[in-house]
Chain A
Amino acid sequence: MTFLAPWNLAWLGLLVPLGILYVLKRRRQERPVGSTLLWEQALRDLRAERPWKRLTPQVSLLLQALVIVAGSLALARPAGVGRAPRGARTVVVLDVSASMGARVDGERRLDRATAVARSIADALPPGGELMIVEASADPVVRSPFERDATALGRTLDAVQVRGARADLESAVALAADRLQGAPAGSRVVVLTDAALDGTLALDAGAVSVEVQRVGGEAANSAIVDADARARTDDPDRADLFARITHHGPSTADLYVTAHLVGQEAAIASRRVRIAPDTVESVLFTVDLPPDAAGRSPVVELSLAAADGSTDALPEDDRAVVPSPGRGKLPVFLVGTAPAAVERVVRADARVEVFRTSLARLAERDPDAPPLEGLFVYTGDVPAEAPAGDSVVIAPAGDRVFELEVGEETAAPQVLTWDEADPRLRFTSFRDVHLATLRPLVGPAARALVTTSGGSAIATIARSDGETTVLGFDPTRSDWPRQPSFVVFFRNLLERARERRAAGGVPPGTLGEPLRVPAPEGATVAVETPGGETLSAVSRGGLAVVPIPAEPGVFRARVEGGAERFALRSLLDAEESDLRPRLEVTRGGERATGALVEAEEHAESWPWVAGLLLVLLLAEVAWASRREAAA
């Protein structure tokens, strides 16, 4: 037998005051009387009525001591081998997707889930341990196997909603992996609102998986998409797009309002009535001139019910989008860029081209502000990648930053290309023929276009930008004569422009920590949309600042450096649909009844036991100080 709450054995200390109360004699008021003869006889009568009276004080003390011992032992929660085998381990997989932030009947789904997790932690069998896995885009082990309920409680307190969708299957797989070789009775408990599309296969080998649902259905309206595009007829005007959806039993009457971040006055507003489970698009044409410093404004779109009520998930009622802005994107052509490339770049009206060289860039004052724009290197590249985005065409050396450049091969055939990558949007390499290629190799690189001779186009992602490397000279191919060439470079320009407008911090989901590029050891302070200030120290050129799952503009101030900002919005139709719809399967078959309603067993008996002990103490204090009549 073991004790699940051994600290409650401290109640045994009550035996000391109990004994003292019995040992100490009661102070009585002396009163002279004529004769005590009759009183003595009366007391003898009482004793005669109850022959066991002489033993009563000892019996009372014994009983009270036994009650204290039993109560203390009960509070210490003695446990033996019961339904859950000794040493059985439990992994709680907590869904921290955005929908878990929804409030149903005044309680947040995540709070409900953590409460259930706490009750599981409190009910661990002897020797049992609990692991907490956070299911977000990638599963994260928040707490290794732990048996201390207090430590587990602290971990659960720190769990926050993330904006990304929860990959429950990966999280369950991770949990099952950690339970390999665990004692019999070990299990995985998934706590989710089941508000996600698709299925969850409970095929975790020998490990038992329970899926418990928290939170019921809730009506919700959401902005699921937002964008701002400059109008071609007037650079200071822009079209604001928003897609609004509503899930609920009745039609929603909503106001969609746009205003500039930092300004209270609305720049556009419209009333929208949305039928359940439909999507409405809203288009505003507004003036978005840059401010006096030439900075482009950030637009916030918000959603509000016409009757002033709030819905279950406020996080998806706001979205921030960068305005297209008026400032032109600086493009630095370093070296002799192919004419076709320069022609495509110059064709973009919102680009300002600068010709330069590595030598001239090296002459720049190191303390001068970094150049923010797109660098296009042809041939030679610097030893270190510049901040922001860059393109390398036909590298001359054997290395391009973290990439290795292979030996030249002749006439490689294009095999595949990554159609999902935004740089290759609307492009095709089906009819592209290369004369030569120096394949790009390296673990840090991700191939965008693969040929029979190796990777032809690859990309290196960094916290403060990305580098796209072409392992060939476009002029020695038929690619420049094809539309995909123009589209590819326009995509690169658009991507660089978006990153610049987005504040220079890599994009991320709601609640995902900000990764702010900063010099080693520099402190980065981040101001949240709610006015809270968070900070972190840069390690390896990056400061990772945990932020709350709050939509809006996060402003990062790098110690002794420039200001950056990051925009965070949910904009996820799946997360905004709060209806439980996850389908659980086992062995390929739909597992009916596998998804059960989570129950939180809040134990109230310790309070009752504690109260009884206090009452007992009061009774002892009263009884022991009261002289028995007999």
Chain B
Amino acid sequence: MSGSLLDPDFIARLERLRLLARRRFAGTAGGARRSTRRGASVEFADHRAYAPGDDIRRIDWNAYARLEELVLRLYVAEEDLTVHLLVDRSASMGFGEPSKLEVAKRLAAALSYVSLAGSERVAVVPFGDRADRPLPPTRGKRRVGHVLRFLDGIQATGETDLAQAVDQFLARRPRPGLVVLLADLLDPGGWTRPLDRLLAEKHEPVLFHVLAAEELDPPSGGDFAFVDSERGTRVEVSLDARARRAYLARLGSFLEEVEGYARKRGISYVRVSGDDALEQALMSYLRAG
């Protein structure tokens, strides 16, 4: 099953890519990514006054010659990055052909592969109206199969409550890192507050907005009773020009709102619709890094 999420050609293309993190985070182990902490890399970061107990090997003797003060040379630490993949597995994600959840899982698989190949830690948190038991942060390229199997087991069911899911995610006090949210954001409870909370907790959210092709371009003609896959509510609609125009207007403002929000807060935003657009969207995001 895991093979269906990533095919060899796609993996080959992913090999050359790394995740983009606009901010620096403190890691748990040494890695290839600059950390917020001072460490032992070769990249100079700053000076500070010597204090008893400091490693005298870091005293900048050239500075002492000029200033007659003992100062230490500080270097940037290079640590690993934890990538949290928040995958919306609510029933609404089961809509579309292929389903939005399928697209989200393939995105998550690709991101996991890139992350693990780049010595990052990857954690997967499926959520619906609450955060499910997550896949704990794992590291190493050999763990790719484990992650893919976990993703493969996610099924679309239940309602969406992004706020509660994020609250539960944050309650576990995860190490700040890249939080990749893969969701359709069609949450009656709203989606801005959870993202604000992630930002507040020093995470860097990345938003993969997954929508079905039918949601972006509904067919015209016909009289339907649309049944909400999560709440079961019925909406009777005659798909005439007026109704379609109103829907597209509402969809446009919704997308514009999400994009505007992301742009304003410096959140990477990628809209994905269908399988064909998946790879292109993913590549454009990763190459930007």
Contact = CB atoms under 8 A, between A and B. Distances in A.
A34 B229 contact: yes
Interface string B240-266: 101100110111001000000000000
Interface string A26-41: 1011111111111111
Contacts of A629: 237-238, 240, 242-243, 246
A627 B236 contact: yes
Contacts of B229: 32-35
Contacts of B186: 34-35, 37-38
A41 B227 contact: no
B238 A42 contact: no
Contacts of A46: 242-243, 246
B95 A32 contact: yes
Interface residues of A, number: 25
B4 interface: no
B247 A34 contact: no
A45 interface: yes
A627 B93 CA distance: 29
Interface in A582-630: 626-630
Secondary structure dominating the interface of B: mixed
Interface stretch (B75-83, B114-122, B217-225): B217-225
B89 interface: no
A43 B225 CA distance: 13
B233 interface: yes
A34 B243 contact: no
B227 A33 contact: yes
B235 interface: yes
Chain B contact-residue range equals 35 or more
A41 B223 CA distance: 18
A25 to B, nearest CB: 9
Contact of A38 (B100, B234, B251): B251
B188 to A, nearest CB: 6
Nearest to A27: B223
Contact of B225 (A31, A41, A49): A31
Nearest to B91: A34
B223 A34 contact: no
A33 B228 contact: yes
Given A29-B223, A32-B227, A33-B226, A38 B247 contact: yes
A29 B225 contact: yes
Contacts of B222: 29
Contacts of A31: 224-227
B194 interface: no
A30 B234 CA distance: 9
A42 B250 contact: yes
A627 B240 CA distance: 10
B223 A28 contact: yes
B124 interface: no
B225 A30 contact: yes
B22 to A, nearest CB: 30
A37 B250 CA distance: 10
B225 A28 contact: yes
Contacts of B246: 42-43, 45-46, 49, 629-630
Contacts of A39: 226, 235, 237, 247
B250 A41 contact: yes
Contacts of B39: none
Nearest to A33: B226
Contact of A630 (B95, B242, B249): B242
B256 to A, nearest CB: 13
Contact of A34 (B93, B238, B254): B93
B173 to A, nearest CB: 31
Given A33-B214, A45-B249, 4 more contacts: A28-B224, A30-B224, A34-B94, A42-B243
19 contacts: A28-B223, A29-B223, A30-B234, A32-B95, A32-B226, A32-B229, A34-B92, A34-B94, A34-B186, A34-B212, A36-B235, A38-B254, A39-B237, A40-B235, A42-B250, A46-B243, A627-B223, A629-B237, A630-B243
Interface of A: 26, 28-43, 45-46, 49, 626-630
